[in-house]
């Protein structure tokens, strides 16, 4: 009975975040597909689904959507963990529509701004022209935005410790030879924090102290 009860709770949790787990399911399918591709074909295939300058100039909507459906590393399990820890709680808290709005804002704006900066670097001769076809797929910008917006789910003063950790994770790379991707990640964090209007009226902030007190009781 305990096993059945545990499975029921897991299923209830998954049903509370349908967007998260449908997206994760798509990533599982595409990751399996990548593993069955010839190695010499895989990179070319992913480039066609990248948010690089070449693909954005051809069909920006298709490029932005397609790039969010693939994992460049080919490792799905770490993303299953990250989606469960960050995306699922955010969707259950905000609702699917608002959660999706945060994801879309972070993914689209961070992708366009970082690629715009790369284009300017190419024009000024600071980056090679070949960079227009850089491999750039993945879900990390959306994830960074959601990680940031979750700060509003946590009560003060715990919120500030969380924000400090998030700032360190995404900000330190900017101080050590930043890439355009690093800039995109940090921008996605700022975009997530800018989504404060979406969190209003979404219930009381979680207080870790109250949770610990309840466990002790």
Please give the average per-residue pLDDT across 133-150, as a whole number.
94
Neighbouring residues of 7: CB distance < 8 A, sequence distance ≥ 6: none
Q: Distance between CA 68 and CA 61 in Å, rounded?
A: 11
Domain count, the chain: 1
Q: Distance between CA 176 and CA 183 in Å, rounded?
A: 12
Please give the average per-residue pLDDT across 173-197, as a whole number.
93
pLDDT digits 0-9 by tens, 46-65: 988 999 999 999 999 999 99
Q: DSSP string of 25-41?
A: HHHHHHHHHHHTS-HHH
Tokens 């990390």 correspond to what residue? 140
For the cut 90, the answer to whether the pLDDT of residue 162 exceeds it is yes
What share of the chain has pLDDT > 90, as a percent?
71
Which CATH number is 116's domain given?
1.20.1540.10
Q: Distance between CA 99 and CA 106 in Å, rounded?
A: 11
Residue-level pLDDT at 178 = 82
Q: How confident is the model at residue 160 (pLDDT cuts 50, 70, 90)?
A: very high
Please give the average per-residue pLDDT across 134-156, as a whole number.
94
Domain enclosing residue 106, as ranges = 2-216
pLDDT digits 0-9 by tens, 83-128: 999 999 999 999 999 999 999 999 999 999 999 999 999 999 999 9
């Amino acid at each position: 009975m305990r096993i059945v009860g545990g499975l029921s709770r897991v299923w209830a949790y998954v049903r509370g975040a349908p967007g998260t787990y449908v997206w994760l399911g798509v990533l599982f399918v595409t990751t399996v597909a990548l593993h069955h591709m010839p190695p010499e074909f895989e990179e070319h295939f992913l480039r066609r689904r990248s948010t690089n300058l070449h693909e954005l100039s051809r069909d920006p909507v298709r490029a932005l959507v397609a790039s969010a459906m693939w994992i460049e590393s080919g490792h799905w399990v770490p993303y299953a963990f990250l989606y469960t820890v960050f995306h699922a709680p955010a969707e259950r808290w905000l609702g699917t529509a608002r959660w999706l709005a945060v994801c879309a804002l972070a993914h689209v704006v961070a992708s366009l701004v970082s690629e715009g900066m790369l284009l300017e670097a190419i024009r000024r001769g600071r980056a090679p022209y070949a960079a227009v076809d850089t491999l750039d797929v993945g879900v990390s910008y959306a994830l960074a935005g959601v990680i940031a917006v979750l700060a509003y789910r946590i009560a003060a003063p715990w919120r500030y410790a969380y924000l400090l950790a998030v700032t360190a994770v995404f900000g330190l790379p900017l101080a050590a030879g930043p890439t355009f991707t690093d800039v995109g990640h940090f921008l996605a964090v700022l975009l997530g924090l800018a989504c404060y209007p979406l969190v209003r009226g979404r219930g009381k902030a979680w207080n870790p102290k109250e949770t610990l007190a309840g466990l002790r009781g």
